[in-house]
Structure 1
Amino acid sequence: MADPAEHAADLPPCPSASEGGLLPAELRAWMVLLAATGAIEQRLGPVLKDELGVSHDEFLVLCLLADRSEGGLRMTRIAELLGRPKTRLTYQIACLQHAGLVTRRSVCGDKRGVEVALTDKGRRMFTEASSTLTDTVTSGLAQIRPEEREVMCGMLPEEAGGEKG
C-alpha cells in the first residue's frame, strides 16, 4: 500500500481554501480544517496500529487519559469531549481494557458512574510512542499550505490569534 504522506505535496490545494464559492468564510475555514485533520488521521492510523495496536478513536481516549496527571475520567465525560455515542465508547474502552491499557471502576457513591484510567502499561506504551506520534502529526501539519493556514487562522476569534475580520 502506498504511503499517503509520500504524495501529499502532489495534491491540489483544498478546493474550499479558495474564495468564490457559496461557502461563507467560517464554513470554508471549517472545511479546510476538516481536510487537514483528515489527512493527519490517515497518516496517523498505520502508526497507531504499529506503535500502540489501537485505532484512531481508541487513541483519542488514550490521549484524554494521558493528559491527566492522576486519576481518570468518567465515561460520560470522555463521550462528551470526543462527541461520541456512549455505546461506541463502551466498545472502545472494552478493547483498551482487554489490551491492558486502561482500567474501569465504579465511581464511589454513583452506581451508574464508571471511571476509566490508564494502567501503568498504557502510560508506558503511550510515553514510548509519543515521539513517533508527535513526528507523524508534525509532518502532517507541515503539509498544510500557507493559504489553508490563513483560512484556518481567519476562523479563530481575534483574541485567540485570528485575523481581524
Structure 2
Amino acid sequence: MTESLDSARLAAWRAYIESSQRLFTRLEDDLRADDELSFADYHVLVLLSEAPGQRLRMGELASRLIFSPSRLTYQISSMQRRGLVTRQPCPDDRRGSEAVLTAAGLLTLREAAPHHLASVRTHFMDDLDDAEVACLTRIFERLGQRLRSTRDASTPHATS
C-alpha cells in the first residue's frame, strides 16, 4: 500500500487542485464571455501564432497542447468551421498535415489577448509578489520537465 501524504502535503495538494480548477474555470469563463473562445481555442491560436509560418504539424500541436490525436482533430475541425484555422497537407511530407492560422484567427487572437491577459492578471498574477512568481516558475518548470521526460520515455511520438 502506498504511504499517505502528511498533513502539510495533503493540504498543499488539495489547495493546488481546488484553486487550479477554479482558476482554469474562471479564465475560460472570461474567454467565452469576452471573445467566444474556449481555453483550448485560445491556446491553439497562441501556439500557431508563435510558430514559423504560423503553422504546426498536427502531431507537434497535439504534443504541445497535451491532446490525443482524436481530441486535436475535433478541436481543429471546430476551429476550421469558424474560419480560425485551416488544415493543409505538409509540404515536405504529404502523409502528414498541418494546422495553419488564418488571418481571421490571428485577428481573433489579437482581439482576445488583452482581455485574456487582464483576466490572468486579475485572477492570478496580481495576487503574487516577485518572490512567489519566481518560486512558482521554478516549481512548474521542474515539474513540467519531469513529466515531459516521463511521458516521452513511455509514449511513442505522433508523426502526423
TM range (shorter): 0.5 to 0.7
Deviation at 1:103, TM superposition (A): 1.0
Instruction: Give the structure 1 partner of residue 57 of structure 2.
Output: 74
Q: Which runs of 4+ in 1 moved over 6 A?
A: none
Structure possessing the higher relative contact order (Cα contacts under 8 Å, 6 or more residues apart): 1
The one-letter amino acid of 2:55's match is G
Consecutive unaligned residues in structure 1, runs of 5 or more:
1-18, 159-165
List runs of 5+ in structure 2 lacking aligned partners.
Answer: 143-160
Count, aligned residues: 135
The aligned residue for residue 106 of structure 1 is 89
CA contact (8 A) 1:52 1:126 kept: no
Q: Secondary structure of 2:87's partner? A: strand
Residue 153 of structure 1, CA deviation:
5.6
* 2:7 aligned residue: 21
Determine helix, strand or coil for the equivalent of 2:54: coil
Identity of aligned residues (%): 27
Q: Counterparts of 2:140 and 2:76 in 1: how far apart (Å)?
A: 33
Partner residue in 2 for 1:152: 136
Q: Which amino acid aligns with 1:129?
A: A
Q: Which moved more, 1:116-125 or 1:46-55?
A: 46-55
Q: CA deviation at 1:142?
A: 3.7
Q: Displacement, 1:34?
A: 5.1
Cα 1:143–1:105, aligned 2, differ >3 Å: closer, same or farther? same
Contact 1:104 1:116 in 2 (8 A): yes
CA RMSD of aligned residues (A): 3.2
AA paired with 2:121?
A: T
Q: Which amino acid aligns with 1:131?
A: P
Normalising by structure 1, report the TM-score.
0.66
Structure 2 CA distance for aligned equivalents of residues 69 and 130 of structure 1: 20
Matched to 1:23, the amino acid is R
Larger proportion of helix: 2
